[in-house]
Structure 1
């Protein structure tokens, strides 16, 4: 169980870091017009996916109150 929790924390840190990096990448892509809207859209979709994954991991780390 402890290893599972440690693994979840490690994965959460990785996803959070990638989410931050996507923030920077999106800002860089959209900084100067005309910018690549397709690339920006793909980065934003990936960022939303990461946000969902981070939320799921956070919910797994919260102890089940009914247990």
Structure 2
């Protein structure tokens, strides 16, 4: 996977993370949230956050001080 493909993947992960955030908020605002569904979405969101961090670390060059 080259850097361009990684950047595209990173953008897709960020979009999915943002969509999950909106879905969680909608479930919580609906009045009777399904706690199991909310927990699953939050777990997925955390997994996406880890993947985003991995790609960001890889794509951001280390600065030697």
Cα displacement (A) at 1:35: 1.1
Aligned length: 64
Segments of 4+ in structure 1 off by > 4 A?
none
> 1:5 aligned to 2:37?
no
**Which residue is equivalent to 2:15?**
17
The TM-score with structure 2 as length reference comes to: 0.89
Choose between structure 1 and 2 for higher RCO, CA contacts under 8 A separated by at least 6 residues: 2
Q: Determine whether 1:39 maps to 2:37.
A: yes
Residue 53 (structure 2) pairs with residue 55 (structure 1): yes
Unaligned runs of 5+ in 2: none
Gaps of at least 5 residues in structure 1 are none
